């Protein structure tokens, strides 16, 4: 994706760390280490920050299942990994994206990304300053 080199580098580092810890901790301490790579998840701060409403509503059209994921989907994946059902999975990063990875959607045009980025930046500059209250 355009303008996402920092995200790509960070994700690659997390994936490599997952594999290395799985090897080291699995051998030395019998601890399994896995990761979860979620796709677009509705009703999350990341989705609302990165994709304005008009874009997130169109994102469903690109999804093979024609819907965005939910927090519940990611939670169930984590529970599977820590359960006995996932006891032989180690060093893997499970992609939980409703098949988006398989469909390989076309990249947005660079100018469209710039336009969305500018509108998100404008909204963030107009947002009230301060730490948002936790939902926990």
Tell me which of 2 and 17 has the higher pLDDT.
Answer: 17
Tell me which of 110 and 132 has the higher pLDDT.
Answer: 110
Distance CA 33, CA 30 (A): 10
Q: Is residue 128 part of a domain?
A: no
Q: How many residues does the chain have?
A: 136
Strands (E), 1-136: 35-38, 93-96
Residue 108: pLDDT band (50, 70, 90) is low
Q: In the prediction, which pLDDT does 28 show?
A: 94
pLDDT at residue 85 greater than cutoff 90: yes
Q: Is residue 81 part of a domain?
A: yes
Q: Is residue 120 part of a domain?
A: no
**CATH number of the domain enclosing 15:** 3.40.50.720
Residue 81: pLDDT band (50, 70, 90) is very high
Nearest CA to 93 out of 16, 9, 29 is that of 16
pLDDT at residue 136 greater than cutoff 60: no
DSSP lists the bridge partners of residue 95 as 37
pLDDT at residue 15 greater than cutoff 70: yes
How far is C-alpha 47 from the chain's CA centre? 9
Highest mean pLDDT: which range of 23-32, 35-44, 45-54? 23-32
Q: How far is CA 111 from CA 60, 64, 105, in A?
A: 21, 25, 17
Cβ 15 vs Cβ 35: under 8 Å = yes
Q: In the prediction, which pLDDT does 124 show?
A: 76
Q: Is residue 130 part of a domain?
A: no
Question: How many domains is the chain built from?
Answer: 1
Q: Is residue 82 part of a domain?
A: yes
Distance CA 11, CA 17 (A): 10
Mean predicted confidence (pLDDT) in 1-13 = 86
Q: Is residue 133 part of a domain?
A: no
In the chain, % of residues over pLDDT 70: 83
Q: In the prediction, which pLDDT does 14 show?
A: 97
Q: Is residue 40 part of a domain?
A: yes
Q: Which structural domain range is residue 69 located in? A: 5-112
Q: Is residue 24 part of a domain?
A: yes
Q: In the prediction, which pLDDT does 132 show?
A: 62
Six token digits for residue 56: 């997130």
């Amino acid at each position: 994706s355009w303008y996402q080199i920092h995200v790509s580098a960070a994700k690659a580092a997390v994936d490599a760390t997952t594999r290395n810890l799985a090897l080291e901790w699995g051998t030395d301490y019998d601890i399994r280490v896995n990761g979860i790579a979620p796709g677009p998840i509705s009703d999350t701060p990341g989705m609302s920050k990165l994709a304005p409403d008009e874009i997130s509503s169109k994102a469903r059209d690109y999804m093979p299942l024609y819907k965005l994921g939910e927090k519940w989907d990611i939670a169930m994946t984590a529970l599977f990994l820590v359960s006995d059902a996932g006891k032989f999975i180690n060093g893997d990063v499970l992609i939980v994206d409703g098949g988006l990875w398989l469909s390989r959607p076309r990249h947005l045009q660079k100018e469209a990304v710039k336009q969305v980025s500018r509108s998100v930046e404008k909204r963030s500059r107009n947002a009230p300053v301060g730490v948002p209250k936790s939902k926990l």
